[in-house]
Structure 1
């Protein structure tokens, strides 16, 4: 059994490698000379189509989200928005399109490689009101009462101490501020061999917790008006399962009457 710090180190390593290899993955399809391997598909099986959203930048989209949190975030012109696990900047740039020049966007990510990519993307476009900070979202390097809105896309479920994260979200939000998070939750008990698998863990799947436990953590952090805005079933392709799991574990998983879901949830700080 891995410790919490070992789990975080594994996720940091996997996503840092993804940041470095992202250029190789962009644009891969069935017509390409080298289709994306099952090992890489684990990162992208839940991804959403951002391309029609205002502010979308293709080189900032690594395809590792599981929802469209900015669509439900109610971001207004002039807002200060914090994006947790900001990656290459995708959600930050879309949030910027909502806040306008008078707003402020802060992206936080613990992978220095992701921060470097995001900063390059922002500099290339001359964005002066978008900043990217290297830091741990369990201990955010920002003051109390900073944000009007906090967003995140398929990140919290990667980290083991969700209570710390929701307490931090509460701290950095202004009174009356709110969050909108897309994340992965489970229904039913999965085979231990499934949840212990390192690649599945870092790929947003095996680290997720039960849906009711997830909502309970939000309530314990004293948020109000908690609402699930959207639910989507996540189906793991057979080739991804076979890449990471043996046949016996796959059989247990398929017979287990378990579900994996992407939810987008909102809540308000009183």
Structure 2
């Protein structure tokens, strides 16, 4: 089991915290508009947690698109699957990631979004290599700092050799895969 996986109790607490945050300050819809996600795309919400972004991505890609909610935590995968089902989102599929091995095909994604989780990754080169593998040649990685300084995020991405940073905002980075 990777060190990055949180306990079931921590996951449940995180989920409750996010529900409260989203009720008080619903910013996710506004945030994802800056990710350039279009109808018909395939998006991977890598580290999907409780599916907050997964369901928003599903609305953006529409019925002709596909969203994969991927996580190393079985509670996250199950919660996201149930949430998508309850919302009638037939374009969402969940996948359980084992360590740094994602069961998705090579170059499946137009967008891979790794949000609020990169700071927990112990082996960033392995992680960024796997994200590169599942991203299409003309796709993008949308990644944020989470709970680490931007300089650390930039260092990890640049040192990996798998990504070229195309755009940097206060909120996130957009990176093009180096194939």
Give the alignment's TM-score, normalised by structure 2.
0.83
**Highest CA radius of gyration, 1 or 2?**
1
User: TM-score under structure 1 normalisation?
Assistant: 0.57
Deviation at 1:52, TM superposition (A): 6.6
What CA distance in whole angstroms lies between the structure 2 residues aligned with 1:127 and 1:155?
24
> 1:168 and 2:130 equivalent?
yes
Q: CA RMSD in A?
A: 2.7
The alpha-carbon deviation at position 53 of structure 1 amounts to 1.8
2:163 is the counterpart of 1:228: no
Q: Determine the structure 2 residue equivalent to 1:205.
A: none
Q: Which has the higher contact order (CA 8 A, sep 6+)?
A: 1
Q: Give me the whole-angstrom Cα distance separating, in 2, the residues matched to 1:178 and 1:27.
A: 28
- 1:214 counterpart residue number: 156
Structure 1 residues 22 and 122: CA distance shift in structure 2, 3 A:
same
- How far apart, in 2, do the equivalents of 1:52 and 1:160 lie? 27
Number of aligned residue pairs:
175
Would you say the 8 A contact 1:19–1:117 is kept in 2?
no
- 1-side partners of 2:35 and 2:42: how far apart? 12
CA apart distance, 1:176: 0.7
Unmatched 5+ stretches in structure 2? none
Per-residue deviation, residues 13-53 of structure 1 (Å, max 9, x unmatched): 33x2233346765776xxxxxxxxxxxxxxx8xxx943572
SS in 2 for 1:143: coil
- Residue of structure 2 in register with 1:31 after alignment: none
1:218-259 residue CA offsets vs partner (Å, 9 max, x unmatched): 5x11x23532122xxxxxxxxxxxxxxxxxxxxxxxxxxxxx
Paired residue for 1:247?
A: none
**Which of 28, 37, 60 is equivalent to 1:98?**
60
Match of 1:268? 176
Q: Counterparts of 2:136 and 2:15 in 1: how far apart (Å)?
A: 37
